[in-house]
Amino acid sequence: MFCKTLAAAGLLASLAITAVHAATAPTISVSGSKFFYSNGTQYYMKGIAYQLTEADPLIDTEQCQRDADLMSTLGANAIRVYHVDPSGDHDGCMSAFAGAGIYLLVDLDTFTTAIDPTNTSWNQTQYNAFAKVMDAFASYTNTLGFFVGNEVIALANQSLAAPYVKAATRDMKAYRSSKGYRDFPIGYSAADIAELRPMLQNYLACGTNSSETIDMFGLNAYEWCGNNDMETSGYDTLNTYAEGYNIPIFFSETGCNTVPPRTFEDQSAIFGSAMNDIWSGAIIYEWIEETNNYGLISYGPTVAATAVASGVQAGISRTGTPTPVSPDFTNLQSQWATLNPTGVASSAYSPSLTAPACPSSTSGGWLVDGNVKLPSLGQTLATGTSTAAVSSTGSATGSAATPSATGKKSSANGGKEIAGMSAGLLAVMLGFMYWL
């Protein structure tokens, strides 16, 4: 009897694993400024930043299944992952998330291949690394899209790196076409820098050649802290800048924690009538609780940073059964449960949007003047131009302060901006997560 029971349990486990690996999801595509499921229903992103460690979080099927189950309870339908190993086996995790109706946004760059605003280039090594990540995830139906960079431009005087972001976009879109992949969007995730609004978002989408422009724009914004509203948070300004934007725009990181506990009141604005016709949702920072206190779940109690144990890094348990962090998890769950905009059906949507004008340079702010010629593969930003505005003819004009960012990949710590502080100061103060 015991043997029969054991055999039956083994069969059920085998069937469960097979089911996990077989899970698929309807694809999502872009039309105008909106995302749509393949059945024509508009897709609004309710996402979670999911980077458990420096390592690839999408190779441990059992962990992904546990997390996907709880994310489904939370109401999430997307995750954002900042760095992956393209040589890893992602089938189990991608199927686990697909089975829960959860889609993936993943950064193409790594710590060593990210575009560096202080030593700016777009070269063959970067191209090859980006292509490998795209190859690794192109076949999954729940791959929503890719970012060519996260907060490459982290200070107001680093905007000369923007043409290199755009060049990476151009070449990755061409690679996507050459491989016959479906047209999943390729975009950029930006730091919220007041001096560059709305120039950066407009520049990346401007021009008559759509093969050179981003397909979606994500903003890492932490302006809505505590009991705010559209005006006091500054969301009304963000809304104004985004109105009429010709591609999907969404919050690629949000969830201010300077006024605990987090009540996520900004979600009612993002998914409500004030914003849901313009914005396509938000990604909450972040899934795992770390020392920065942004986590929605915990895998276990914090231990000494020097402790050596399986699944523990820097004193944080990074595997196991996810336990909601109270009250933040429940607060977000309660918000999302009541926020379900229907949007518009793709069959009834006939956008007449046009690309924004390429912005002119501004004194002490945006340094790219108009629709400049993009760098070619292998080109490096000329020495000395990092302090000057570049015109559409390629000549340098004006001056600005020397960039002071570290140049490391921003990775999962994003902006997490503190209201009232300048973006430049914040970029220095906030730094990077423990592994950088």
Q: Of 223, 253, 286, 417, which one is the catalytic site residue? A: 253
Chain-centre distance for alpha carbon 58: 16
Rounded Cα distance, 41 and 26, in Å: 11
Based on the residue annotation, tell me whether 253 is a catalytic residue of this protein. Answer: yes
Cβ-proximal residues to 120 (8 Å cutoff; 6+ apart), any chain: 160, 161, 164, 380, 381, 386
Cβ-proximal residues to 59 (8 Å cutoff; 6+ apart), any chain: 85, 88, 89, 90, 92, 93
pTM of the model: 0.86
- What's the pLDDT band for 412 if we cut at 50, 70, 90? very low
Cβ-proximal residues to 180 (8 Å cutoff; 6+ apart), any chain: none
pLDDT in tens, 43-73: 999 999 999 999 999 999 999 999 999 999 9
Closest CA relative to residue 30, chosen from 39, 43, 48, 45:
43
- Concatenating the DSSP letter of every residue in 323-341 gives EEPTTHHHHHHHHHHT---
Which CATH number is associated with domain 15-359+406-430?
3.20.20.80
- Concatenating the DSSP letter of every residue in 211-225 gives GGS-SEEEEE-----
Other beta carbons within 10 angstroms of residue 404's beta carbon come to 14
- What's the pLDDT band for 391 if we cut at 50, 70, 90? low
Residue in the structure block whose two tokens are 């400024």:
33
Q: What is the mean pLDDT of residues 224-247?
A: 97
Based on the residue annotation, tell me whether 151 is a catalytic residue of this protein. Answer: yes
Rounded Cα distance, 35 and 31, in Å: 6
Q: What does the domain layout of the chain look like in residue ranges?
A: 15-359+406-430
Range in 206-215, 249-258, 395-404 the model is least confident about: 395-404
pLDDT of residue 191: 98
